[in-house]
């Protein structure tokens, strides 16, 4: 089923003419992910300025994870196009694989200059001006928060995984440049957080991302032999699923650099890792935090975490209206 996007009745002719040709893509499933995705879509409609009437696509790409009737009605109200076509059949146990499959599907079936792929546990607070890519940019991303499965070179524990991934995908390992992780500032081969990915859709980056990722799954490549168990935005991740953790982001980096060298690192006000706020250098946080554009809050809108959520600090990024909105919309469950 689907709800087709139409410009809001309050959209002026000038707004319609100046609206960027951008499509937003995120996954939605029954449970907490449903509440998170609805909050994300509402934040787009409320706070993104000229992007507020852009197309939004919500997908439930694996079997058995459909949404409630209430969510369907809310998507209609928000003019979000919904699809429950089953796309993730090769790695349904790994929730992040949904995003990869969904992104490739929208790239193949919808026409936009720019596509923005989002994690559902994120919201917008301000206009994302950087989404209008300059002529010399084909993709805009943020580096991974911490090193994780990134490689720091030949002696790194995960370097073999990266080399095997490149070999599996016919990609050039040496063509991936060096970068730094955001929080722990480790020198790594460029690796990007999949919670916010901005691309020119005509280049096929998202198709290549899905092709590379699912090919690696079929080849039996896993970053971990014994996966970690930990908390993520949609709940706890088992050790079995943890074997895959980070693999979709590695495939994203390989896909981007196999397609274009015109890659922009988005400012720190985008995809801000709220769960790691206390680990960010205080001087840097003081400069960045009040002006956040896009926030990756993970589990911090849940009942047990809400009281410690730094987003609600008085010197934080929320306007009074945004504070009232989020107070009324949370906790999420």
Q: Splitting the chain (333 residues) into consecutive groups of 10 residues, what average pLDDT does each group show?
A: 44 70 98 98 99 99 96 98 98 95 99 98 99 98 98 98 98 98 98 99 99 98 78 65 88 99 99 97 94 98 94 95 98 94
Describe the crossing of helices 205-218 and 247-259 by its angle, rounded to 10 degrees. Answer: 130
Pairing of strands 294-296, 122-124: antiparallel
Bridge-based pairing state of the strands 263-265 and 139-143: parallel
pLDDT at position 243, please? 86
Q: CATH fold of 13-219+246-328, please? A: Spore Coat Polysaccharide Biosynthesis Protein SpsA; Chain A (3.90.550)
Distance, in Å, from the CA atom of 50 to the CA atom of 129, rounded to the nearest integer, reads: 9
In contact, 102 and 87? CB cutoff 8 Å: yes
Interval 96-136: pLDDT, tens: 999 999 999 999 999 999 999 999 999 999 999 999 999 99
Question: Rounded to two decimals, what is the model's pTM?
Answer: 0.93
How is 38-60 classified by DSSP, letter by letter?
Answer: HHHHHHHHHHSGGGTTSEEEEE-
| The two three-digit tokens of residue 187, written as one number | 């020198």
Tell me the two tokens of residue 112: 């936009």
pLDDT, residue 233, reads: 55
Determine the longest span between alpha carbons in the chain, in angstroms. 58
Residue 116's nearest CA partner among 311, 266, 268, 273 is 266
Cα separation, 152 vs 140, in Å, equals 22
Return the bridge partners of 180, or none.
Answer: 187
Q: How many CA atoms lie within 13 A of 223 on its CB side?
A: 23
What is the residue-wise DSSP string for 268-298?
TTSSEEGGGGGGS-HHHHHHHGGG-SEEE-T
**Domain chopping of the chain, boundaries:** 13-219+246-328
């Amino acid at each position: 089923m689907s709800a087709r996007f139409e410009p809001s009745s309050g959209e002026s002719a000038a707004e319609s003419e100046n609206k960027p040709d951008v499509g937003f893509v995120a996954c939605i499933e029954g449970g907490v992910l449903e509440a998170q995705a609805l909050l994300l879509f509402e934040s787009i409609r409320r706070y993104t300025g000229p992007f507020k009437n852009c197309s939004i696509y919500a997908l439930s790409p694996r079997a058995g994870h459909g949404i409630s009737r209430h969510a369907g009605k809310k998507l209609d109200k928000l003019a979000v196009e919904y699809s429950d076509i089953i796309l993730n059949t090769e790695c349904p146990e790994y929730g992040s694989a949904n995003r990869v499959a969904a992104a490739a599907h929208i790239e193949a079936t919808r026409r936009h200059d720019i596509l923005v792929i989002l994690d559902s546990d994120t919201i917008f607070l301000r206009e994302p001006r950087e989404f209008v890519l300059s002529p010399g940019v084909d993709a805009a991303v943020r580096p991974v928060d911490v090193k994780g499965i990134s490689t720091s070179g030949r002696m790194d524990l995960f370097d073999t995984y990266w080399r095997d991934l490149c070999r599996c995908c016919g990609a050039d390992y040496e063509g991936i440049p060096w970068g730094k992780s955001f929080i722990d500032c480790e020198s790594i081969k460029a690796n990007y957080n999949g919670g916010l990915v901005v691309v020119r859709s005509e280049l096929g980056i998202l198709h290549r991302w899905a092709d590379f990722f699912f090919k690696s799954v079929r080849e039996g490549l896993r970053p971990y032999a014994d996966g970690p168990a930990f908390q993520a935005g949609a709940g706890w991740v088992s050790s079995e699923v943890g074997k895959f953790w980070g693999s979709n982001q590695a495939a994203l980096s390989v896909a981007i650099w196999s397609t274009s060298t015109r890659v922009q690192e988005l400012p720190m006000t985008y995809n801000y890792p709220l769960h790691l706020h206390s680990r960010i250098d205080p001087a840097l946080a003081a400069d960045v935090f009040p002006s956040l554009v896009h926030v990756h809050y993970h589990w911090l809108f849940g009942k047990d975490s809400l009281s410690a959520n730094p987003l609600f600090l008085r010197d934080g990024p929320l306007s009074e209206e945004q504070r009232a909105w989020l107070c009324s919309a949370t906790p999420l469950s």
